[in-house]
Amino acid sequence: MSTSLLSHAWGLRGYHLQATDFLDGSTVLRVQARPESCICGRCGSKDVRRAGTVTRRFRGLPIGKKPIGLELPVQRLWCAACGKTRQIHLAFADEKRTYTHGFERYALALSTHMTIQDVARHLGIGWDVIKDIQKRYLHRHFAKPHLKHLQQIAIDEISIGRGHRYLTVVLDLQSGAVVFVGDGKGTAALRPFWRCLRAANARIQAVATDMSPAYILAVQENLPKAVHVFDRFHVMKLFNEQLADLRREVQRSTEKIEHKKLLKGTLWLLLKNPENLDPKSANPSGSKRPCASTSPWPRPTTSRRTCANSGNSPTAPAPNAS
């Protein structure tokens, strides 16, 4: 195998191949660095002394299913400026990693089509190595999102581990990208985000949150010029709860049996959009809820009157509408 193949295939420039071994189904290429002037990999100082070598083995790009190992002595240097002894910087691999950049790129390319477990099995390596490669890639590319052009954002919290831990997530509504994740919930979790936003000089036009007083206060304090929107999910949730409470109250207050029967089983009828109601059906809302069997649905004419009376259906469909 030529030294130029070593350079082009595995990215080892400035090295020459000394031997090739075949061990336990894998191929190990033993290489040696060409003599060169040494500098400290941390500070760049030339005031260094050689302090022996350490043999290291790296995972290189496989040939088909055949694993390739690269073994070489790595020079150690004592740096007068740093006052420490370290290994020299290697151009083909990151510090404290046992795989080359080429292997890392290959694993990431496979990860776009396969699960972590599948990639690990294909490359004959532990899943934690693939996980580490993915995490480092995400950290390199997304740890510091650009906030300068952020215009419309959404803020919400998620619970992790059965509600024992919360994270506050900020989303760019135009790109769909997560631009911030804060530990905890409430205003405290958002403080680092406001600092980053001010540093980036972003001009936020609109913010969507739930109706939590903490978020309302935080948006008023930090984005006073932005339009504050309560997101549809939380508005609908609140509306549904209010409607359920109202029905229960009416149910309790009415004394006539026929009125109680009329109310029973009409929740989904009231919640459904008027244009989706089917007046010809015995079940006008088309609901598959079991309440229809225990409580007969009102006749279509009664149903429409119920919607109109509730004030929930100003645009109730014509009788022949589907």
Binding site for Zn ion (CB under 5 A): 40, 42-43, 45, 79, 81-82
- Closest approach, Cβ 86 to Zn ion, in A, equals 8
Residue nearer to Zn ion on the CB measure, 79 or 218: 79
By DSSP bridging, strand 152-160 and strand 165-172 are antiparallel
Instruction: Give the residue carrying structure tokens 């790009």.
Output: 61
Q: Which CB atom, from 82 or from 291, has the smaller least distance to Zn ion?
A: 82
In whole angstroms, how close is the CB of 44 to Zn ion at the nearest point?
Answer: 7
Distance, CA of 260 to CA of 150 (rounded, Å): 53
**Contact at 8 Å (CB) between 125 and 59?**
yes
CA separation, residue 234 to residues 47, 211, 214, 229 (Å)? 64, 7, 15, 11
Q: Which is nearer to Zn ion, 63 or 81 (CB)?
A: 81
CB of 35 to Zn ion, least distance (A): 20
Q: Please, which residue, 40 or 219, has the CB nearer to Zn ion? A: 40
12 vs 40, beta carbon nearer Zn ion: 40
Please give the Cα distance from 255 to 263 (Å, whole number): 12
Nearest-approach distance from CB 118 to Zn ion, in angstroms: 42
- To Zn ion, the closest distance from the beta carbon of 79 in angstroms equals 3
* Helix, strand, coil distribution of the chain in percent, nearest 5: 35, 25, 35
The closest of 48, 50, 51, 52 to 79, measured between CA atoms, is 48
Whichever of 53 and 295 has its CB closer to Zn ion, that residue is 53
Taking the alpha carbons at both ends of the chain, their separation in whole angstroms is 75
Cβ at position 89, least distance to Zn ion in Å: 11
CA–CA dist 221, 206 (Å, integer):
14
Unique residue bearing structure tokens 């919360």: 166
